[in-house]
């Protein structure tokens, strides 16, 4: 069976510490509450894809610990296919701690654990029986696992969507495989050296990335929307943001990527439409509290 979307990326247990304001350096403050949820870019993106009702599977790694067991149970309950998740011995499951302030902005600290222990051989074995339309991945697992996955996805003629987060020193090596790259403002600046303050800056940066051999580029501008550049059509499209009151921005980029991949699996010829739906989904997510529980379903997006 050909899957609609194959996702690969980090799988973590996330701890959300809610505060009124971020502490200053050396300052001790009282937090309001602590939430624990399954997270990681790969996990978030896979749950998003599952909630869009398309066939998917998640490739990644967890440790053989309590967090790993909890994560697999939760992902299965969310409808994510977990057959390709590797259980790593002698390595802890990834953990992320997010401090979220009253505006919904967040700062993350991550122990990648099993995510960085995922190796090329394990990825090749997991991907060997898989066929898919869209391959969605990020850079939160080991370099060798990312490059192995990209090579296999290319050989299998999948459309490759690369979320370049976190931006690594080997990013340039990934460009020869990616069909679509979706950096945010900070990632765009690190990749291109162009500071992105407005739409015109985003256009310049998107064109620069496309000139490195990538067919399509989406530069995400947060609450200001995004800029799409399709190099084969030499066309820019401004994707307007849906205006909402932000409660929690955690995972907004992951929801954008997951919905984008899902819509492309349905209709690979209409990237503009896919980007618009992804933008709406991201906005709806930041207007809600929590992590994966706040990811919108296909039905909710259809009603917007």
Of 55, 66, 72, 64, which Cα lies nearest the Cα of 11? 72
- Domain CATH number, residue 220: 3.40.1190.20
> Annotated binding residue at 104?
no
Instruction: Indicate whether 127 belongs to any domain.
Output: yes
Residue 167 has pLDDT above 90, yes or no: no
Residue 1 has pLDDT above 70, yes or no: no
> Annotated binding residue at 60?
no
pLDDT by residue (tens digit) across 36-59?
Answer: 999 999 999 999 999 999 999 999
- Tell me, what's the pLDDT at 105? 82
Instruction: Indicate whether 233 belongs to any domain.
Output: yes
293 has catalytic annotation: no
Instruction: Indicate whether 100 belongs to any domain.
Output: yes
Instruction: Indicate whether 171 belongs to any domain.
Output: yes
Higher pLDDT among residues 103 and 54, named by residue? 54
Task: Count how many domains the chain has.
Answer: 1
**pLDDT band at 140; cut points 50, 70, 90:** very high
> Annotated binding residue at 221?
yes
Strand-pairing partners, residue 229, are 217, 236
Scanning the chain, the segments in alpha helix (DSSP H) are 41-51, 66-77, 114-117, 120-127, 143-155, 171-174, 185-192, 199-210, 252-266, 271-286, 298-302
- Tell me, what's the pLDDT at 249? 75
Instruction: Indicate whether 242 belongs to any domain.
Output: yes
> Which residue of the set 65, 254, 269, 293 is catalytic?
254
Instruction: Indicate whether 304 belongs to any domain.
Output: no
Domain extent at residue 257: 2-22+33-299
């Amino acid at each position: 069976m050909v899957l609609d979307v194959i996702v690969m990326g980090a799988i973590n247990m996330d701890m959300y510490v809610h505060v009124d304001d971020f502490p200053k350096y050396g300052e001790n403050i009282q937090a309001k509450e602590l939430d624990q949820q399954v997270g990681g870019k790969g996990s978030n993106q896979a749950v998003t894809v599952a909630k869009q009702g398309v066939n998917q599977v998640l490739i990644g790694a967890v440790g053989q610990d309590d967090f790993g067991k909890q994560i697999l149970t939760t992902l299965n309950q969310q409808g994510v296919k977990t057959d390709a998740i590797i259980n790593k011995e002698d390595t802890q499951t990834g953990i992320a701690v997010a401090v979220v302030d009253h505006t919904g902005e967040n700062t993350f600290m991550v122990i990648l654990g099993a995510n960085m222990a995922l190796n090329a051989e394990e990825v090749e074995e997991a991907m060997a029986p898989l066929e898919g339309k869209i391959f969605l991945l990020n850079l939160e697992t080991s370099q060798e696992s990312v490059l192995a996955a990209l090579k296999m996805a290319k050989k299998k003629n999948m459309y490759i969507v690369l979320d370049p987060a976190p931006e690594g020193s080997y990013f340039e090596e990934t460009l020869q495989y990616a069909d679509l790259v979706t950096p945010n403002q900070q990632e765009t600046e690190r990749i291109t050296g162009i500071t992105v303050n407005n739409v015109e800056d985003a256009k310049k940066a998107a064109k620069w990335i496309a000139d490195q051999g990538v067919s399509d580029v989406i530069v995400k501008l947060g609450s200001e929307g995004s800029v799409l550049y399709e190099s084969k059509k030499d066309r820019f499209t401004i994707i307007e943001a849906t205006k909402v009151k932000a409660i929690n921005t955690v995972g907004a980029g992951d929801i954008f990527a997951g919905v984008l991949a899902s819509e492309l699996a349905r209709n690979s010829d209409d990237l503009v439409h896919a980007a618009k739906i992804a933008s709406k989904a991201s906005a709806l997510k930041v207007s809600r509290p929590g992590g994966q529980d706040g990811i919108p379903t296909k039905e909710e997006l259809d009603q917007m």
